[in-house]
Structure formats: structure tokens, C-alpha cells
Structure 1
Amino acid sequence: MFFHVAGVTVNPIVIIIWMAFVGFVFSTIGAAGGILAGVGHITIFGMKKANTIKPMNQILTLISPIISTPLYLRERRLVVPAAVSLGLGGIIGALLGSWFSTNFLKEMSAYQPIFGLITFVIAGRMWYEMTPGFREKQQKVKKATKAFEEKVKELKAAGKMNEIKEIGVQFSEMGINNTFTFAGESFRYNVFAPFIAGVVVAIISAALGVGGGFLLVPFLSSALGFPMFIVAGTSTMSIVISSLTSISNYLRMGSQLDLPMVGFELVGILIGSYLGPVLSKHIKGIYLKGFLAVVLTYIGIGYVFGPMIQHAFGFWII
């Protein structure tokens, strides 16, 4: 099937299968959705229009945040003022990043190596996540998260909804400096920190056409010291704001979406997102993450050093 805007001929079944893989990975690992969508557009489907690829990547990375944000809000696992600060910064960063990318990364020869560099960064993060120290830390986080979710279910079943406020995010001070409690612990941050981070992360994610969660999660957990219970929800809300801004600005500046292709891609993403939680019970996460780290490392090498390898050895590795 020929897709006019994308300028490629691709079997729709190939599109659905690849995007199902993307949805599966994102729903089980929670990262690399935008990168894998970009790999599909560039390498699997053969698209050559960089300014079409970027907003199409970001549309696909929006599905999970849009679905999950209301759920985090309901369970009070979202620091709304911090997410708003990230989002406001994200609006500025998304406008700057999409403008810069439209004008200076409009050719694949310029865009692809930079995309490859960020692929390296995510691959490096995945290699780190397979280290024993990180895995031990994550096991503790998962146990604590499960215990919190069970407590919420108990309170709902007992009709004690008012008590959820006591364990969920509850602000005691709002302004330039914000203080809130979560599960009995107190946390404090300055409102300008997430705003500045939102600007920087959105510039990078908008310029490359990715979600930005791989940068926001370490910032919220390490720089601000938020517990992982509330990091995911806070980052997803800001991703929705910055990604919508970026997509809108790309379209305003003349980028086009191949809507028929996006339709097939969304089918694949939804299938993969459904199968992820089901199949992940039978696949060890460390194996999937290791496979993905190898794939992303290979892709990064190909995108960054492919032309040099071809010039030196006479073949293209990707």
C-alpha cells in the first residue's frame, strides 16, 4: 500500500506488527516508545521526510500518558503543581525544539545521527538498569508500590475514601516553594526547578520527536527526590502537555501527518499495549530489556556511524 504523505510503500500488516512490538515494549518496560516508533518510520518503513516522522512519533507516545494520567490523579499519585510547572516549561521547550528541528534538522542526513545519539543514551540507561544494584532497588520499589495500591483498594472497599487523602499526595504549602506529604512522608521542592527541567527536556524531545520520559523520570526521582510512587504520574501529565504543543507547532509550520499510516500504527500500538501485561508474565523482564538494549545499541551505531562505515568498508550496517 502506498502512503502519499509518508512517500513510502509498506504492507499495512508490517506496520501493525512493528507497532504492536512498540506497544508491547512500552507497556512492559515503560521506555523507548518514541525511539522504537522512530526506528520503524526510518528503517522499517523507509520514510525520508524527517519533519513528518517527528510529530508521528509523538502521536504514538501520547497514547499511554493520556490513558494513565486520569488513573494517577484518581489515586493521588500525581504531584499536580510540579506536573504543571514541567508542562509550562514544556510548552516553551516544545515550541523552541520543534522550531529548531523544522529549520535545522529537516533533512534526514542531519536528523538521523542526532536521533542515533539519543538512542545511545537510552540504550545506556537500559544497560544500567540491568545491573544488580539497580535491579535490587527496583524490586523494593515494586513491592512498595504494590503495597500502596493494595492499601488504596482496601480503603475504597471499606468506603473510607477520605482516608486516601492521608496516604496520597496532600499539599501543606504552595507557592514558590511547595511542600506535600505522601504516605506520611514530607517532600519539598522549588517550583522553578521543574519549570527549567521542562524547558530543557521538551527542547530535546520535540526536536527529536520522542516523549521525554527517559529524561523526566531520572530528574523527578534523583534531582527532586520524589518517590517512584508518584514519579510516573507526574511525568506522564507533563508529557501530554509538551507533546501536544510540539505536534501542534510542527503542523502549524507545515509538517504533514500520514493519517492512514497513523491509523494502522494506532491499531498495532493498542494490540501491543494489551498483550504486554498478558505476555510479560511469561517473559523475564531482564531478558526483554537485554534484547532491547542490544537492538538500540546496534541502531545507534548504525544511525551515527553508518555513513563512515559504508565509506570505509563498503557496506551499510542498518
Structure 2
Amino acid sequence: MEFSVAGVSVSPILLILWSLFVGYVFSTVGAAGGILAGVGHISIFGIKDANTVKPMNQVLTLISPIISSPLYFKERRLVVPAAIALGLGGIVGAIVGSYLSHTFLPDMKTYKPFFGIITLFIAVKIWTELMPSAQEKQKSVKKANKAFEDKVKELKAEGRMNELKDIGVKFSEMGITNNTFSFAGETFKYNALSPFIAGAIVAIISAALGVGGGFLLVPYLSSILGFPMFIVAGTSTLSILVSSATSIGNYIRMGSSLDFAMLGFEVIGVIIGSYLGPVLSKYIKGQYLKIFLAVILTYIGTGYILAAFGVKII
């Protein structure tokens, strides 16, 4: 099928299947959705205009949080105040990042290496976090993950999955600076200003790349704030909704075009994948989620860096 605005000919079935995968990954780990969308638009579907790829990637990362966030909220696997702070900072960052990218990264030759370097950097960071020495520093996170996994097995065996929210996120302190909440019997604290600053920085980079920013938010939430992986995905996806919408609007304002016919098929896949993510992620160990994310980012980052030197693996 021909898509005139994007300038490509692609099977609608392929669009739906790839986007289903994008939605599933993004809603499961709270990251890599925009990167995978970019890989699809650039390497699988063949779009040549970088400033068309960027906002189209972000449309898909915008759809996924709309579907998955209510599911995470219902199960209390979402730290709402942190997500709001990240989103507010993201508004500022998205405007700055989309302007810089539209002006200084207008073509694939400059866009792809930048895309690859940032992606590979984050992949290396996540692999570092998976090392035993780093894991030892996150005992409370591991306890919360284990408690949540055990509770899921218990409730599933007894047919009482509706009680899962009882061990979810519960705040005992909320303020301008210090916030305290519990999850699966473990207590977590963070400075409320930190997510706002991080949201602005992440949004500058993610808007410049034309992605959601989850690949940066997940390491921040899990490593710097120390949140368990079972609540990282929901918190990340909700904050991305705000920054992605801001970035898309700014790209369009600056003249970027969206292929709505193509996006129509992609949205179908993302909706299905985004629903499956939260439903299935309860049965996957938190450690496995990070390994899966690290593998994806390593492959994509390496592929786009090598492409700048004429070596193609993607």
C-alpha cells in the first residue's frame, strides 16, 4: 500500500504487527517504544525524512500511555506524583529539544549516528546496573520485586487477582521536596524536585531523537530513585504522555508532516500491544525486564553507529 506523505510502500499487516511489538515492549518496560518505532520507520518501512520520522515515532509513544497507564493505575503500580513532576519538566524540555533537532538534525545522515550513540550509552548503563555489585546496592528494590512476584503467584493460584492493588503504591508523605510511599511491604523515599529536573533533561534528548524518552526514564527511576521495576513502567509511560504531546505539537508547528493513513494502521497495533503489556508483565521477573531492555538497546545502538561507517546490521 502506498503512503504518499511518508513516501513509502508498506504492507498494512506489517505495520500492525511491528506496532503491536512496539506497544507491547513500551508498555511492559516503560521504555524502548519510541526507539523501536524509529527502527521500524527508518529501517523496515524506509522513510527518508528525519523530521517526519521523529513526530511519527512520538505519536506511537503517545498512544501507548493512554492505553496502559489506566491499567497500571488500577493496580497501584504507578507513582502518580513522580510521573506528574516528570511530565511538567518534560513540557519545557520537549519544546527545546524538538526545536534543536528540527534545526540541526534535519536529515538521516546526521540523525542516525546521534540516535545510535545515545541509545548505546543507555544500554551500557543498564548492563552495568545488572552486575552483582550494583544489584547488592538495591536490596529494598529486590525485596519489593520478590514480594510482588510471590503475591501475584499466590493470588493467581487462589483466583483473587482483584486483590493485587492492596500491595500497590501507597503514599504516607507528599510534599514539595520529600515524598514517601510503600510498595509490596517496602518503603521508598525521593525528592520531588528531582523528577522535574530529570523530566526536562530527558525530554530535550527524547524530543531531539523523536522518541518517548522511556529508555532514559527507566534507568533514572530504577537506579537513581531506586523504584522497583514493577512500578517503573507505569510511572515512565504516564510522564511520557505529556512530553510526547508537547514535542509532536512543536514539530508540526515548525512544518513537519505526519502520514495519518500510515499512523492509522500503526495505532491499531500499538493499542493491542499496549493492552497486552500490563496484563502479561505481572508474570515476568523484574530482572528479566531490564535484561530484555538492555539487549534491545545494545543491538539498535550498535547498528546505527556502525551504519555511519557503512556497516549494516539493522
Would you say the 8 A contact 2:128–2:134 is kept in 1? yes
Separation in 2 of the partners of 1:127 and 1:245?
31
1:144 to 143, 147, 151: 147
Separation in 2 of the partners of 1:11 and 1:231?
34
Separation in 2 of the partners of 1:243 and 1:66?
12
**2:99 corresponds to:** 99
Would you say the 8 A contact 2:145–2:228 is kept in 1? no
Alignment of structure 1 residues 15-164 onto 2, 5 Å: 15-26=15-26, 31-124=31-124, 142-147=145-150
Measured after TM superposition, the shift of residue 238 of structure 1 is 0.9
Measured after TM superposition, the shift of residue 90 of structure 1 is 0.6
Change (3 A) 1:167 1:288: closer
Separation in 2 of the partners of 1:213 and 1:36?
12
1:107-130 deviations in whole A, cap 9, x for unaligned?
111111111223323543665587
Q: State the one-letter code of the partner of 1:46.
A: G
Would you say the 8 A contact 1:176–1:190 is kept in 2? yes
Separation in 2 of the partners of 1:295 and 1:224?
23
Q: State the one-letter code of the partner of 2:204.
A: I
Separation in 2 of the partners of 1:290 and 1:175?
34
Change (3 A) 1:65 1:271: closer
Alignment of structure 1 residues 1-318 onto 2, 5 Å: 1-26=1-26, 31-124=31-124, 142-147=145-150, 168-183=169-184, 185-273=186-274, 297-309=298-310, 318=314
1:246-270 deviations in whole A, cap 9, x for unaligned?
1111112211110000011122334
Change (3 A) 1:135 1:265: farther
Q: State the one-letter code of the partner of 2:306.
A: F
- Matched pairs, number: 309
TM-score of the aligned structures, taking structure 2 as reference length: 0.79
Unaligned runs of 5+ in 2: none
Separation in 1 of the partners of 2:9 and 2:30?
30
Query: Larger Cα Rg: Structure 1 or Structure 2?
Result: 1
Change (3 A) 1:228 1:182: same
Measured after TM superposition, the shift of residue 71 of structure 1 is 2.7
Measured after TM superposition, the shift of residue 317 of structure 1 is 5.4
Secondary structure class of the residue paired with 1:175: coil
Change (3 A) 1:73 1:298: closer
Would you say the 8 A contact 1:119–1:296 is kept in 2? yes
Secondary structure class of the residue paired with 1:188: strand
Change (3 A) 1:71 1:110: same
Change (3 A) 1:124 1:243: same
State which drifts further: 287-296 or 21-30.
287-296
Measured after TM superposition, the shift of residue 148 of structure 1 is 5.3
1:266-312 deviations in whole A, cap 9, x for unaligned?
2233454567789999x9999999898667545434422324337xx
Would you say the 8 A contact 1:77–1:233 is kept in 2? yes
Separation in 2 of the partners of 1:184 and 1:302?
42
Would you say the 8 A contact 1:24–1:274 is kept in 2? yes
Secondary structure class of the residue paired with 1:179: strand
Change (3 A) 1:170 1:7: same
Would you say the 8 A contact 1:62–1:243 is kept in 2? yes
TM-score of the aligned structures, taking structure 1 as reference length: 0.78
Say what the alpha-carbon RMSD is for the aligned residues: 4.2
Q: State the one-letter code of the partner of 2:254.
A: M
Separation in 1 of the partners of 2:266 and 2:11?
12
